[in-house]
Amino acid sequence: MTVLKIVLIGDGGVGKTAIRERYLGKGFKAQYLLTIGADFAMRDDDVSGKHIRYQIWDLAGQQRFDAVREVYYKGCVGALLVYDVTRPDSYFNTPKWINELWTNNGRGRVPIVVVANKIDMRELSDDTVSPEQGRIFTDRLSNLTKPEGFTCHYVETSAKTGVNIQKAFQLLGTNIMRFVDGQRKTSRSTTSRIRSTVPGQRQY
């Protein structure tokens, strides 16, 4: 079984925990529960015909947890980057979260699914982030990651209704598997080149 460590990142109160709970089949809770540093959960799933196990780290978004969060990024291979469509500030803060993820995970640029959450509340607010804004941002992000062999995806979700929650995790898992397979191929190619230059070393 392939184990994938992923993180849920974004400002506090955007719905990361609700998304995780919905994905785990625990339903939606209306009250906001402050994540203390990080919460951890696991779920098995099938991605691209392969059986995988997600290690899901739900990271607290409040500034006072900045120093605590850094340790939880280590070794992660992907992230759901969540913002609240009714809170434009959470959208404009997404570059900060990307920088934090790519700086601290030990792998550099890893796959991201940009998640525009709480779409069920979009019509109730006069100041919202449009789908076009989310797609433009994700396209720009993909331009940064294409040299690494993958693009990023954009999806609109509602933890309250459950729409596209499964899709978000599937998109992330598919992209991670491509990313990991690409890294393995690169590693094998590099190892082969090194072996060919070592006297007396058998070439494979």
Dist CA 134 CA 83 (whole Å): 10
Q: What is the pLDDT of residue 187?
A: 53
pLDDT of the chain, 204 residues: tens digit per residue: 899 999 999 999 999 999 999 999 986 555 545 566 678 899 999 998 889 999 999 888 766 666 667 888 999 999 999 999 999 999 999 999 999 999 999 999 999 999 999 999 999 988 999 999 999 999 999 999 999 889 999 999 999 999 999 999 999 999 999 888 777 666 554 334 434 434 443 332
Structure-block tokens of residue 73: 């990024």
Q: Are 159 and 117 in contact (CB under 8 A)?
A: yes
CATH topology of domain 2-196: Rossmann fold (3.40.50)
Structure-block tokens of residue 5: 């460590």
Q: What is the pLDDT of residue 72?
A: 87
Q: Are 127 and 168 in contact (CB under 8 A)?
A: no
pTM of the predicted structure, to 2 decimals: 0.85
* E-strand stretches of the chain: 2-9, 38-47, 50-59, 78-84, 112-117, 153-156
Q: Are 155 and 122 in contact (CB under 8 A)?
A: no
Q: What is the pLDDT of residue 204?
A: 23
User: At CB < 8 A and 24+ separation, what contacts does 145-148 make?
Assistant: 145/109, 145/111, 145/112, 148/108, 148/109, 148/179
Cα–Cα nearest to 79, from 148, 143, 152, 138: 152
Cα–Cα nearest to 84, from 61, 68, 104: 61
